[in-house]
Structure 1
Amino acid sequence: MANNTPYRLVTNLKYWLLASGGLVVGMALLYVSGLSWFEDHESFGTLANQLGGLLVASVALATLWDLVGRRSFFKEMLEVLELKQDVSASGLTGIGTDYRKIVDWDDCLHSAKRLDIFAAWATTWRNNNQVNLQQIASRNDAKIRVCLPDPTDPNCIKSLAARFNTSQNDVRGKINEAIEGYKKIDANGSATGRVEIYTTSVFRAFTAYRIDSQFVVTLYHHKDNRRGLFPALTCREGGSLFAFFEEDLEGTLDASTKVYP
């Protein structure tokens, strides 16, 4: 079978030829530096001895690098490249532990034409971005779709109450307040059609926002104390992560009940 690595063979051959030549020259310099002639020319003898020792040591170090270091470095680079390829294929553009800083929300929402919100209620996020959300809802070429839990589904309410360590009445109240809050974004509930609200009994494992061609996703943790930071990531359209969250969102919306307008 023909060898498929000719450049590698040529490179290795050049290296070993140079290394052999350097070793021969170094040994020769060490040898001649001990000849009687150099006893009368001590400075030349010292120079020849040092040059010979340097060549021999350099060849030895280079050989160790070629046999051990270069191969380890090559394997490390392969791991880095494979990771880079995985990240590129996934479309991951950012990752952190604070959804408030994972993207510039003002910049993302200011010119957004398509916004999908998949959350339990996202009261804090909605209040922080109220102005931008109203601006989006005021544009004829923009649309906001909101997918919230179903406040009339007992199992859904019970699951959310357990997740967020609160009462079922509080959960139901937060969801209803969110529904009314998102209605007000639509020109104070005038039903322009630019804001759509859906409810579903799907149990939420994360919060997701699709802003035009990117997703911002925040994960949940499962400890009793819900305070602290949460993993958050962003991904662009065209990557496998975006495709997953898009398919998941659209599938959920297809099985949801439209409650507004």
Structure 2
Amino acid sequence: MIHQLSVVDKRAKIGKNVIIEAFTSVAADVEIGEGTWIGSNVTIYEGARIGNNCKIFPGTVISAVPQDLKFDGEVTQVIIGNGTTLRECVTVNRGTKALGFTKIGENCLIMATSHIAHDCLIGDNVIIANGCGIAGHVEIGDYSIMGGLSAIQQFGKIGKHAMISGGSLIRKDIPPYVKVGRVPITYAGINSVGLRRRGYSNEKIFEIQKIYRAIFQMGLNVSQAVSYIEKEMLPTAERDEILTFIQNSPRGIVKGYGTSKE
């Protein structure tokens, strides 16, 4: 199942039913899980840990050293979860001593030419469309969708179930369950379509909408909105997740429509 024109180090750990196409290079300290397909002209460097039933398309480079001048040759990894697909010419850099690894979760789709930098944490079922740039130390929550040609600066955070418009420049954190778009990027409602597809009830969606009305549409600043939500709305998993995200966002969250400035 390994093409004779590929170069696979004998020390690499290759699972059952793995296919490695021609002109692909796999280094020694690499693990590839069962049923994974590796296309032609893929380069997999030291430290890659690729799960079961993944698909890696031609031109992809996994676990190259990070583009970080502080990197000093430390032993780090890239971890890719089961069922994840990396399309053509995706690049995923391994971690630095800051975290030790870059991680992409299970069942993700990373579309062509996107870049995921060192020490990023990408959740499960995430979709990153073509040509996105994700800087170092970024966190992206489960089921989030990042539109094509978007870019997020280092240490940015995107909450679960967020929907980001294509071509966005993300300089502030994006809380869970919301849609963002426009220039400059602003809150554009909650991701109700995505939430319904994932089984959220109308009552739960209305609850999330009510929380974000307090944050973005009642004329309160963020601290006032948080206090209002804590006092006036009953604790739920979604309410507490939103509040925790906001309280752990040192750079602050995106603004509401009409309040953001260049």
* TM-score grouping bracket, smaller chain normalisation: under 0.3
**Higher relative contact order, structure no. (Cα contacts within 8 Å, ≥ 6 residues apart):** 1
Q: Given the two structures, how large is their TM-score scaled by the length of structure 2?
A: 0.19
**Would you tell me which structure has more strand in proportion to its own residues?**
2
Q: Given the two structures, how large is their TM-score scaled by the length of structure 1?
A: 0.19
> Which of structures 1 and 2 has the bigger CA Rg?
1
